[in-house]
């Protein structure tokens, strides 16, 4: 086949150009360490690496979210610890006072003591995190959970926050609550507690006291209902007795009415709920026996009522003494339950922190595997690329050498 | 005896002709488009005598161009395809490089944007987190704007290149027309002898023209006619018809190639009617790649904006008012009126469902009573439900609805490009950090529930009929660019090999081989010397005759 001279030259140039551009590409790959310089180098790999990049970024962001959640929960844990210790002190003092031998002065000292503890609990409830947001007010982080009267130091009004859970995205499909509301910490019956608490109407004029109500028959007909014993009439006797009615959830049940003899006291067992009454009632007095879930479990209300009663101690008034005794009984029962509730919340905080740790471990493992996959798709194998580079350089030199040899072969240049 | 002198002279002349031609070949060995020439010799016949026919020497018949029209035509065809692929490749490589580094540009902007939303969801009352989110969302919009601006610049560049290319075509056609005239004159003035070098020049011009656009060549006598596309004549003999570029009547952002009829009507050539050469490559790039990439980028921006705005409007800002429903402001564009419309109809649009957007363009036509919407990609009709209104509107299942107004006339048409400019227009309207609607309807300064839902949009399938998230739509876009670029690169490389094979074949016939020419030189030199000897012999004979008397 005939070969023209200009074809020689143009072919030589072409092959050298081709080798040089391949060489340049290899050098760029080595310089950046990446196989994929532009999407056209590996279109599928380019798309995959973009998708993996997003997955990796999401993973990292979740880790940051978890750190935020952990910080919030740790701060809450500190507050709950303080509440726990305060409640322990309060309960100890109440039990001491319940032995009935305190004098008026001692009652007043106890009242002052309890007020100090009350202030501590209130300031804990209104605690803030590092950025000034209130911990226990649900979603309304700018609002304090409770308003405080500056002169008396007592709480005014009701809970000002809401029930928002402050959810944080801790994992792809898991939103974790990073705070608890003041309602759940300070004003809630311990979840699952099935007991009863008895309380006396503060307006009682008699001296009826009660013992702690127990559930003697779990399957009893009235277990779970709110009961009230109302002394409606006095029978002169002799001996003088008092007629009482029992209302169940506010509705009088005539079948349960009975007669009460003050000298003997009474052991009442109403539909599985039993308690003992002692002392002499006045007509119009009433004793309520309610399950924890139905009664007001706000510990601040409990303490306010108790402090108020202690401050109006009057040794000469048997009704006042009775009132204080009943109130101590009621407060002890309720605060024990409140204390259990605070411990429950504290346990749930601990559980959540543990879950965050577990999620962190999982997240780290996943992050590692994503990065490995990304390396497999994107990065070059240095050994392979370097050996290709030296092969190409050799090919370029060979092409150049061949061209030099051939171009001198012409009869004109002899 | 005098015969000897004549014979010698004929030999000398033909040797000289051979030397001249060989010298011409040698001088032009590197001239592009040069076809080597060969002297054709034949005997001058014989003189009849009773003793036999005595030859009269050698004559030069013609100087022949070693030209194979089939091989040259084949070379031109492969070169024109190669030029088209090269032009396509150089344009699409720019888009390829734009998306090359995944650590800069749109992908990281998307990730940091969603990370900032997560920060707000975890600490909604933190003003720093909110400010960061404003900054990141503005950054994302800016990245989309600048990617679109890059594509817009490419589009402008294509328009400019079209104009210059068409001017080049016209100038080539003029020059070929001149050569046609010159060749006719040259052939007429010397009967029967082809003007080889003029023919070479004309062939070279045709070959260069083919690099710009594929032309069909037909010979008419010794002139050639040129046409493009499906037969639009550029040159008939010495009469040339110019092409020019116009703003397309259907879409004013596009430049089309057009020609003018004698009655001054301007006829536009469709993009797919011109192929080959850099012109064909540019047009193919524009309709296959540039339009598609810009539309897909806009679709991604639309998907992000529509889904985000809808969720944002469901939340409450820091001071309790409902969130803005145009956090990312985008505009649903009006349909573009065809410049030839005679009615006063106008069509505007609204986006209804980003998930149904296809990224395609549409043609709307009015037949007198009803509007027809067809997809431009394959011409298939789009089902619409018409609401009488007023104003009358058309709902489609492709993510938008059209509102019509004015009075159109039968035959009016519009072009509708729903996502073409979304990435250009997208902007963040919320500048005050407190206006971010992080809380859900229950409110509260520590409420980040709406922000949690906004953050989940990162992986929500908001595009492609529920199959792609925003990032996946972007990676699909990058993948398409990569695939197209790879395809063009591979095709260009393969075509390059084909062109060099065809070139070798053509050069095999028409190319100058210096060794060959050297030998020819020697040969003609030898013949010249031999013919000179013949004169010497003739002179000796004459001298002998003269010397008889003495």
Residues A178-224: pLDDT tens digits? Answer: 999 999 999 999 998 888 999 998 888 888 999 889 998 888 888 88
Decide if B446 and A48 are in contact by the 8 Å CB cutoff: no
**pTM of the full predicted structure?**
0.88
Query: Count of alpha carbons within 13 Å of A23, Cβ hemisphere only?
Result: 14
Distance CA B282, CA B271 (A): 10
pLDDT above 60 for B146: yes
pLDDT of residue B107: 93
Start-end of H helices in A98-166: 104-125
Taking only the tens place, the pLDDT of each residue in B512-547 is 999 999 999 999 999 999 999 999 998 998 899 889
Question: Is the Cβ pair A138, B444 closer than 8 Å?
Answer: yes
- With bands split at pLDDT 50, 70 and 90, how would you rate the model's confidence at A343? very high
Residue B200 CA: distances (Å) to CA of A135, B31, B174, B215, B386: 92, 10, 17, 18, 64
In angstroms, the separation between the Cα of residue A162 and the nearest Cα of chain B is 8
CB of B94 less than 8 A from some CB of A: no
Measure B493 CA to nearest chain A CA, in Å. Answer: 10
**Partner-chain residue, chosen from B100, B126, B504, that has the shortest CB–CB distance to A131:** B126
The reported pLDDT for the residue numbered B230 is 80
The maximal CA–CA distance of chain B, rounded, in angstroms, is: 145
> Angle at CA B186, nearest 5°, toward B183 and B188?
105
> And the tokens for B69?
């029209």
Is the pLDDT at B142 greater than 70? The verdict is yes
Please answer yes or no on whether B123 and A49 come within 8 Å at the CB atom. Answer: no
* pLDDT score of A315: 78
Query: Does residue A99 register a pLDDT over 80?
Result: no
Instruction: Name chain B contacts of A129, Cβ cutoff 8 Å.
Output: none
- A132 pLDDT band (50/70/90 cuts)? confident
Mean pLDDT of chain A: 91
Q: Name the 3-class secondary structure at B457.
A: coil
- What gap in Å lies between CA B228 and CA B236, rounded to an integer? 12
Torsions phi, psi for B103 (to 5 deg): -90, -5
B371 phi and psi angles, rounded to 5 deg: -95, 140
3-state DSSP assignment of residue B158? helix
Distance in angstroms (rounded) separating the CA atoms of residues B455 and B112: 11
| C-alpha separations of A292 from A188, A250, A289, A347 in Å | 9, 16, 10, 20
Query: What are the backbone angles phi and psi of residue A156, rounded to the nearest 5°?
Result: -120, 145
The answer to whether A25 faces chain B, any CB pair under 8 Å, is: no
Distance CA A88, CA A116 (A): 14
Q: With contact defined as beta carbons under 8 Å apart, do A240 and A280 qualify? A: no
Helix (H, G, I), strand (E, B) or coil at B334: coil
The pLDDT, as a whole number, for residue B214 is 94
**pLDDT reported for residue B253:** 86
- Residues facing residue B362 across a β-bridge: B375, B416
Most B CBs within 10 A among A39, A70, A167, A174, hence the mutation to make, goes to A39
Do A340 and A318 touch, CB atoms closer than 8 A? no
> SS3 helix, strand, coil % of chain A, rounded to 5?
55, 15, 30
The percent of residues in chain B predicted with pLDDT above 70, rounded, is: 99
Q: With left for phi above 0 and alpha for psi between -120 and 50, is residue B396 left, alpha or beta?
A: beta
Q: At what angle do helices B106-122 and A43-97 cross, to 10 degrees?
A: 10
> What is residue A2's predicted lDDT score, i.e. its pLDDT?
84
Q: What is the pLDDT of residue A219?
A: 86
Give the residue-averaged pLDDT of A47-72. Answer: 95
A260-313 tens-digit pLDDT: 888 888 888 888 899 999 988 888 899 999 999 888 999 999 999 999 988 888
Sort out which chain A residues have CB atoms less than 8 A from B129's CB and list them.
none
pLDDT tens profile B361-393:
999 999 888 889 999 989 899 988 888 877 778
Contacts of B50 (CB under 8 A, 6+ apart): none
Instruction: Residue A7: list chain B partners with CB under 8 A.
Output: 503-504, 507, 511
Q: B247: buried, middle or exposed (CB in 10 Å: 19+, 13-18, 0-12)?
A: middle
Q: Is A219 exposed, middle or buried (0-12, 13-18, 19+ CB in 10 A)?
A: exposed
Distance to chain A for B456, nearest Cα, Å: 9
Place of tokens 């346990």: A347
Q: Residue A335 is encoded by which pair of tokens?
A: 């605060």
SS3 A127: coil
**Paired tokens of B430:** 């919320």
Answer yes or no: are the C-beta atoms of A159 and A187 closer than 8 Å: yes
**Confidence band, pLDDT 50/70/90 cuts, at residue B290:** very high
pLDDT in tens, B185-199: 999 998 878 899 999
Structure tokens at B265: 């009507």
Report the b/e string of B279-312 with b at 16+ CB within 10 A.
bbbbbbbbebbbbbbbbbbbbbbbbbbbbbbebb
Averaged confidence pLDDT in chain B: 92
| pLDDT (mean) for B136-140 | 96
Residue in this structure with the two tokens 């609607």, named with its chain if needed: B437
Q: Is the pLDDT at B265 greater than 90, yes or no?
A: no
Report DSSP state, residue A138: T
Dihedral angle sign, alpha carbons of residues B299, B300, B301, B306: positive
B100 interfaces chain A, CB cutoff of 8 Å: yes
Measured torsion, CA atoms of residues B229, B232, B238, B239, in degrees rounded to the nearest 10:
-150
Confidence band of B418 (pLDDT split at 50, 70, 90): very high
- Helices then strands, each counted (H, E), chain B: 11, 21
- For residue A124, what pLDDT is reported? 94
Confidence band, pLDDT 50/70/90 cuts, at residue A175: very high
CB-based contact, B115 to chain A, within 8 Å: yes
Over 80: is that where the pLDDT of A414 sits?
A: no
A55-84 residues touching B, CB cutoff 8 A: 57-58, 60-62, 64-65, 68-69
Structure tokens at A306: 């108790």
Separation of alpha carbons B537 and A160, rounded Å: 136
pLDDT tops 80 at residue A20 = yes
Closest listed residue to residue B341, CA positions, set B268, B386, B407, B253: B407
Q: What is the pLDDT of residue A250?
A: 87
Distance CA B547, CA A112 (A): 169
Tell me if A179 and B446 make a contact (CB, 8 A cut-off): yes
Q: Do B114 and A58 touch (CB under 8 A)?
A: yes
Q: For residues B482 and A38, is the Cβ–Cβ distance under 8 A?
A: yes
Residue in B with minimal Cα distance to A179? B446
d(CA A400, CA A169): 63
Rounded-to-integer distance, Cα A300 and Cα A120, Å: 11
pLDDT at position B550, please? 62
Helix/strand/coil for B244: strand
């Amino acid at each position: 086949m005939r070969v023209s001279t200009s074809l020689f030259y143009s072919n030589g140039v072409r092959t050298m150009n081709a080798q040089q551009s391949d060489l340049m590409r290899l050098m760029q790959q080595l310089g950046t360490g990446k196989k994929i310089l532009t999407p056209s180098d590996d279109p599928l790999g380019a798309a995959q690496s973009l998708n993996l990049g997003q997955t990796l970024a999401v993973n990292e962001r979740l880790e940051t979210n978890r750190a935020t959640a952990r910080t919030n929960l740790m701060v809450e844990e500190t507050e709950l610890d303080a509440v726990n210790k305060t409640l322990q002190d309060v309960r100890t003092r109440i039990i001491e006072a319940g032995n009935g031998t305190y004098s008026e002065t001692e009652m007043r000292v106890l009242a002052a003591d309890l007020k100090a503890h009350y202030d501590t609990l209130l300031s804990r409830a209104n605690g803030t995190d590092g950025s000034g947001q209130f911990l226990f007010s649900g979603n309304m982080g700018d609002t304090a959970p409770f308003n405080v009267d500056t002169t008396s130091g007592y709480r005014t009004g009701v809970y000002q926050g809401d029930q928002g859970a402050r959810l944080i995205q801790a994992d792809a499909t898991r939103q974790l609550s990073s705070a608890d509301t003041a309602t759940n910490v300070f004003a809630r019956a311990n979840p699952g507690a099935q007991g009863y608490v008895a309380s006396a109407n503060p307006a009682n004029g008699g001296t009826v006291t009660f013992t702690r109500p127990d559930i003697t028959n779990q399957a009893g007909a009235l277990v779970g209902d709110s009961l009230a014993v109302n002394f409606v009439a006095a029978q002169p006797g002799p001996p003088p007795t008092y007629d009482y009615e029992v209302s169940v959830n506010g509705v009088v049940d005539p079948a349960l009415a009975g007669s009460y003899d003050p000298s003997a006291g009474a052991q009442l067992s109403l539909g599985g709920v039993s308690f003992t009454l002692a002392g002499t009632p006045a007509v119009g007095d009433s004793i309520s026996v309610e399950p924890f879930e139905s009664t007001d479990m706000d510990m601040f209300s409990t303490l306010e009522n108790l402090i108020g009663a202690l401050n109006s101690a009057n040794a000469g008034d048997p009704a006042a003494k009775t009132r204080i005794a009943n109130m101590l009984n009621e407060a002890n029962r309720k605060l024990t339950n409140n204390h259990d509730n605070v411990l429950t919340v504290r346990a749930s905080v601990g559980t959540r922190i543990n879950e965050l740790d577990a999620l962190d471990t999982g997240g780290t493992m996943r992050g590692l595997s994503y990065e490995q996959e990304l390396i497999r798709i994107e990065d070059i194998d240095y050994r392979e690329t370097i050996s290709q580079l030296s092969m190409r350089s050799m090919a370029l030199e060979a092409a150049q050498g061949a061209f030099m040899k051939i171009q001198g072969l012409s009869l004109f240049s002899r | 005896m005098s015969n000897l002198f004549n014979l010698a002279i004929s030999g000398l002349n033909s040797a000289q002709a051979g030397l001249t031609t060989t010298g011409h070949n040698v001088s032009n060995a590197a001239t592009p488009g040069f076809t080597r020439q060969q002297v054709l010799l034949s005997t001058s016949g014989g003189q009849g005598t009773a003793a036999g026919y005595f030859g009269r020497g050698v004559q030069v018949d013609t100087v022949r161009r070693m030209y194979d029209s089939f091989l040259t035509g084949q070379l031109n065809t492969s070169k024109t395809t190669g030029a088209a692929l090269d032009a396509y490749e150089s344009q699409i490589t720019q888009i390829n490089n734009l998306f090359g580094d995944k650590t800069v540009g749109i992908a990281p902007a998307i990730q940091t944007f969603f990370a900032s939303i997560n920060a707000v969801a975890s600490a909604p009352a933190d003003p720093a987190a909110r400010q960061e989110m404003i900054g990141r969302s503005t950054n994302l919009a800016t990245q989309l704007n600048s990617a679109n601006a890059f594509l817009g610049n490419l589009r402008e560049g294509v328009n400019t290149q079209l104009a210059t290319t068409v001017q080049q075509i016209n100038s080539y056609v003029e020059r070929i027309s001149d050569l046609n005239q010159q060749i006719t004159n040259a052939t007429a003035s010397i009967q029967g002898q082809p003007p080889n070098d003029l023919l070479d020049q004309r062939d070279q011009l045709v070959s260069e023209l083919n690099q710009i656009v594929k032309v069909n060549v037909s010979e008419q006598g010794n002139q050639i006619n040129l046409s493009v596309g499906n037969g639009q004549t550029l040159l008939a003999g010495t009469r040339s018809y110019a092409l020019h570029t116009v703003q397309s009547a259907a879409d004013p952002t596009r430049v089309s190639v057009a020609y003018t009829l004698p009655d001054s009507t301007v006829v536009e050539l469709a993009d797919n009617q011109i192929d080959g050469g850099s012109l064909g490559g540019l047009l193919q790039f524009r309709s296959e790649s540039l339009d598609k990439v810009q539309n897909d980028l806009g679709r991604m921006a639309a998907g992000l904006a529509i889904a985000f705005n809808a969720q944002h409007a469901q939340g409450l800002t820091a001071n309790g008012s409902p969130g803005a429903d145009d956090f990312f402001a985008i505009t649903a564009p009006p349909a573009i009126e065809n410049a030839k419309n005679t009615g006063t109809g106008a069509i505007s649009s609204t986006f209804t469902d980003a998930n149904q957007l296809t990224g395609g363009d549409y043609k709307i036509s009015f037949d007198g009573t009803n509007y027809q919407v067809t997809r431009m990609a394959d011409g298939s009709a789009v089902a619409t439900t018409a609401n009488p209104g007023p104003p009358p509107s058309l709902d489609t299942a492709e993510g938008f609805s059209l509102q019509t107004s004015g009075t159109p006339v039968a035959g009016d048409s519009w072009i509708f490009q729903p996502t073409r400019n979304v990435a250009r227009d997208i902007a963040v309207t919320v500048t005050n950090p407190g206006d971010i609607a992080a809380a859900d309807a229950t409110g509260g300064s520590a409420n980040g529930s709406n922000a949690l839902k906004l953050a989940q949009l990162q992986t929500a399938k908001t595009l492609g009929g529920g199959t792609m998230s925003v990032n996946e739509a972007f990676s699909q876009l990058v993948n398409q660019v990569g695939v197209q670029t790879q395809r063009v690169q591979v095709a260009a490389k393969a075509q390059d090999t084909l062109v060099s094979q065809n070139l070798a074949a053509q050069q095999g016939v028409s190319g100058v081989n210096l060794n060959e020419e050297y030998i020819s030189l020697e040969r003609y030199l030898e013949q010249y010397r031999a013919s000179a000897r013949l004169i010497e012999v003739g002179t000796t004979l004459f001298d002998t005759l003269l010397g008889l008397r003495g």
